[in-house]
Amino acid sequence: MTLLRNPKQRKLLFSAGLSWMFDAMDVGMISFVVAALAKDWNLGPEQIGILTSINSVGMAVGAAAAGILADRFGRKPILLWTLLIFSAASGLSAFATGFGILCVLRFIAGFGLGGELPVASTLVSESMPARERGRAVVLLESFWAVGWIASALIAFFVIPDYGWRVAFGIGAVPALYALYLRRAIDDSPKFAEIKKAPVSLKKRIATVWSPEYRRSTIMLWILWFTVVFSYYGMFLWLPTVMVLKGFSLVKSFEYVLIMTLAQLPGYFTAAYLIEKFGRKFVLVIYLLFTAVSAAWFGNATTEGMLMAAGICLSFFNLGAWGGMYAYTPELYPTAIRSTGAGLATSFGRIGGIIAPLLVGVLVGKSITIGSIFMLFFVTIIIGALAVLFLGKETKGTELL
């Protein structure tokens, strides 16, 4: 699989990818930290749900704000500012003295995280040739798996011996990386073309919902909501679910680390298939297999079945994420691309707010894990059907 013969494009992909990795490391850390915090601070299921959801509240606000600002001021400066915001808040989380303070800091960290992701994918998408654009954005997304693996390793080796505060402290490292990014990457050439004639915010939002783009916008909002709802409902609760199924905290971290490793081949296969068979093919197929894996995981009765289902869930779910990030920027013209992507992402983050809270309530009411994961099965099927019937293929098309 040849990719990006241009060294400048390879450098951009790798540089943006590392910022993406730090994002994933921070989000992944939360899933492990809450399992430890539940023991240290005696948190109930509802409080765990609040803590994981507050991060998504920040991500929803950050995605919309950063998307709008990136169409006005450029992709690069907004990428740098969001990176600084989330890393500073993550580092300060290590010094939280109570549940309320930690929730405030996680909201701020979420604002930076949510803002960075759609802006980074838009920047990479606009900087790549059409024949390699989809593959490049999926590979950008693959850095998410690296970040989750890093968070799982930190959880396994750091949290049991040194505590969750040290784990959060590591999250401050990206602030230093932002200084490197400032010189290492350039803004999107597409944005440079429209920079002298910016479109007003009111007109940008109106265009996103104009007859020409309305069908794509509805499809994207459904897709983002269902994928984010299921992902954050399942993966932020994964270590805790393992504990509920009878495994020790350390053992649950070990199993989740193994499951997380399956994300990488999920991304790489999606990166290969997305330019061979198209965006819709990858999204629909990977989402359908994600749904089946979710039902299987929730109803697994043996250790072997649990591991196999978890590995399949990671493989297909994260491959679908890669396809979604590649697809989203391609459905809008440059003048409104970041706004459209940011609004779709922001709406999706509402699903990330609801799902962890809902799982906390359902677990608190003694609803079985199998029933909870069947809810995710249905949700993911809805997302796949939206792409199948409302989506249009963008493989090989030039960005407007």
Mean pLDDT of 281-308: 89
Of the spans 40-49, 62-71, 211-220, which averages the highest pLDDT? 211-220
Is 399 within a domain? no
SS (H, E, C) 252-303: HHHHHHHHHHCHHHHHHHHHHHHHHCCHHHHHHHHHHHHHHHHHHHHCCCCH
Q: Which of 296, 227, 208, 217 is nearest to 259 (CA)?
A: 296
271 is a domain residue? yes
Is the model's pLDDT at 270 over the cut of 70? yes
Question: What distance in Å separates the CA atoms of residue 125 and residue 134, rounded to the nearest whole number?
Answer: 7
- Mean predicted confidence (pLDDT) in 238-253: 64
Which range, 39-48, 127-136, 252-261, is most confident?
127-136
CB 384 within 8 Å of CB 287:
yes
**pLDDT tens digits, residue range 338-365?**
899 889 989 998 888 888 778 878 877 8
Range of the domain at 145: 11-182+200-390
pLDDT per residue over 109-123, tens digit each? 889 988 888 888 888
**Cβ 241 vs Cβ 104: under 8 Å:** no
5 inside domain: no
Residue 189 domain-assigned (yes or no) = no
Q: What percent of the chain has pLDDT over 70?
A: 93
| Confidence at 124, pLDDT banded by 50, 70, 90 | confident
Structural contact between residues 344 and 324, judged by C-beta atoms closer than 8 angstroms: no
pLDDT at 5: 65
The answer to whether 316 and 289 are in contact (CB under 8 A) is: yes
Question: Which amino acid would we find at residue 370?
Answer: G
Tell me what the mean pLDDT of segment 228-243 comes to.
76
- Evaluate if residue 252 carries a pLDDT over 50: yes
pLDDT band at 4 (very low <50, low <70, confident <90, very high): low
What's the confidence (pLDDT) of residue 316?
94
Interior angle at CA 54, CA 81 and CA 352, nearest 5? 95
Between the CA of residue 77 and those of 121, 123, 143, what are the distances in Å? Answer: 14, 11, 21
Whether 6 is covered by a domain: the verdict is no
Neighbours of 276 (CB within 10 A): 11
Q: What is the CATH number of the domain that holds 272?
A: 1.20.1250.20
Say yes or no to pLDDT of 3 above 70: no
Q: Measuring CA to CA, which residue among 4, 261, 32 is closest to residue 162?
A: 32
The answer to whether residue 160 scores a pLDDT higher than 60 is yes
Residue 244 lies in a domain: yes
Structure tokens at 126: 């606009």
Three-state helix/strand/coil letters over 20-72: HHHHHHHHHHHHHHHHHHHHHCCCCHHHHHHHHHHHHHHHHHHHHHHHHHHHH
pLDDT of 242: 67
Are 114 and 68 in contact, with CB atoms under 8 Å apart?
no
Q: Which single residue is written with the structure tokens 């580092």?
A: 91
Which one, of 9, 314, 20, 220, lies nearest residue 135 by Cα?
A: 9
For residue 66, the one-letter residue type is A
**Looking at residues 389-398, what average pLDDT do you find?**
86
Task: Kindly report the number of other CB atoms within 10 A of residue 296's CB atom.
Answer: 18
Q: What is the pLDDT of residue 315?
A: 92
Q: For residues 155-175, give the mean pLDDT.
A: 80
Write the CA distances from 211 to 53, 216, 217, 303, integer angstroms.
34, 10, 10, 51
Mean pLDDT over the full length of the chain: 84
| Residue 191, in any domain of the structure | no
> Which whole number is the average pLDDT over 305-318?
87
Q: Which of 23-37, 279-293, 320-334 has the lowest mean pLDDT?
A: 23-37
Q: Which residue has the tokens 């990330």?
A: 352
Residues contacting residue 157 through CB under 8 Å, at least 6 positions apart: none
pLDDT at position 368: 81
- Asked, for residue 319, whether it belongs to a domain, the answer is yes
- Alpha-carbon distance 390 to 370, whole Å? 30
Q: What is the predicted pLDDT for the residue at 1?
A: 45
Domain count, the chain: 1
The position carrying tokens 């699903």 is 351
Tens of pLDDT along 75-102?
A: 888 988 888 888 888 889 888 888 889 8
Residue with the bigger pLDDT between 184 and 334: it is: 334
